[in-house]
Structure 1
Amino acid sequence: MTIESEIVGKWNFVSSDNFDAYLKEAGVGMMTRTVATKLKPTLEFKIEDGEWSMTSISTFKTHVTKWKLNQSFDDKTADGRDVSEVFTIEQNKLVQNETGKNGGKDSVITRYIEDGKLKIVCDCNGVVATRVYEKAE
């Protein structure tokens, strides 16, 4: 199975490890980090005519990111950072390269399916967080 066929659909939050440290390294302020680390968002992935979308739904806010593979675009992250992004597929993983703007820091966010779960590995300057989701019924 390909990441494209496996990732499409809704995913429920299961667990998070080291997320606050990652957000802090990425330059996210304490108040936003405090809220973000308490949220248990649902993620929904869609692919239509080559355009991907990822919707993060939580009690705090809904954030939508849309992209085409291998095409750079400007975005504002859910935590308010201005970045330039490009999504690629490498070794059956969806890789999001964020380049910080206005002095912001760069991050790499890798998403892949392992044992039926969506694993999200966030890396900013070697500070790594892992988040796990399971497919919604």
Structure 2
Amino acid sequence: PADFRGTWNLLSNDNFEGYMLALGIDFATYKIAQLLKSQKVTEQNGDSFIIHTHSSLKNHLVKFKVGEEFDEDNKGLGNRKCKSLVTWNNDRLTCVQKGEKKNRGWTHWLEGDKLHLEMFCEGQLCKQAFQRA
């Protein structure tokens, strides 16, 4: 599998507003969040991952093992609990989240020294790119 370990700084953030609205994030919060430059720190040990997302507004931590469903508490990201399952799709990590929102999840993959993230929810797609720090 791909090696996602490292620290990644946000480069681009396309359709973040549409994605946040689909999650039900309030206007003031998503307007502030839109201005932030987040950083991801990814720890990986085989199929076990810890992903820290840091910003000046909120921090988010998710721990998972590929192939094992887990309860995810999305504090600051819609404040909804969901069941999440991450699987390998070739060298991409793909997550399906089951909960209040339909068709929700994300995909991570690497291209050179860039980390890509696509987040989707109820027909909205946000594309982010991160540069290795």
TM-score (norm 2): 0.88
Once the two structures are TM-superposed, the CA of residue 126 in structure 1 deviates from its matched residue by 2.4
Displacement of 1:67: 0.6
Go from structure 1 to structure 2 and tell me whether the alpha carbon gap of 1:135 and 1:105 turns closer, same or farther (over 3 Å shift). same
Match of 2:13 among 2, 7, 16: 16
| CA RMSD across the alignment | 1.6
Give structure 2 stretches of 5+ with no counterpart.
none
Aligned to 2:92: 93
Measured after TM superposition, the shift of residue 57 of structure 1 is 1.1
- Secondary structure of the equivalent of 1:130? strand
Q: Which residue of 2 aligns with 1:58?
A: 55
22, 27, 31: which one pairs with 1:25? 22
Give the Cα separation in 2 of the matches to 1:129 and 1:18.
5
Q: How far 1:58 moved relative to its partner?
A: 1.0
Taking a change above 3 Å as real, the CA distance of residues 91 and 49 of structure 1, as seen in their structure-2 partners, is: closer
Instruction: Check if 1:39 corresponds to 2:62.
Output: no
Separation (CA, whole Å) in 2 of partners of 1:11 and 1:133: 5
| TM-score computed with the length of structure 1 as normaliser | 0.86
Q: Taking every aligned residue pair, what percent have the same amino acid on both sides?
A: 24
The letter of the residue matching 1:97 is V
Paired letter, 2:92: K
